[in-house]
Amino acid sequence: MGMNEAICVCRCEEVAEEEVREMVRAGITSVDGIKRATRAGMVLCQSKTCYTNIARIIHEETGTPLAEIEPMRIRIPVRPLKI
């Protein structure tokens, strides 16, 4: 297992850094796109910890300034969900 595979970007969904980098290299260059592809940021924390990590990876892979990377859209469930 490589170093990036061991780094967890989203603890809630156990998304590895290398998985996010592969998505960005495949053309998914928005935080919302990464969220839809990997489920990172979709659980209870609503991306409080993983947004920064994902934005940093997008910046490193694409060169897009961090200030230009839009945050995830947070969508509250219409009704409570049992987990």
| Residues 30-66 pLDDT 10s | 999 999 999 998 887 777 888 999 999 999 999 999 9
| Residues 8-39 pLDDT 10s | 999 889 999 999 999 999 999 999 999 999 99
* Structural domains in the chain plus CATH codes: 3-68 (1.10.10.1100)
CA dist 32 → 25, 43, 52, 57 (Å): 15, 14, 13, 13
Taking the model in full, what pTM does it have?
0.80
In three-state form (DSSP H/G/I as H, E/B as E, the rest C), the secondary structure along 9-70 is EECCCCEEHHHHHHHHHCCCCCHHHHHHHHCCCCCCCCCCCHHHHHHHHHHHHHCCCHHHCC
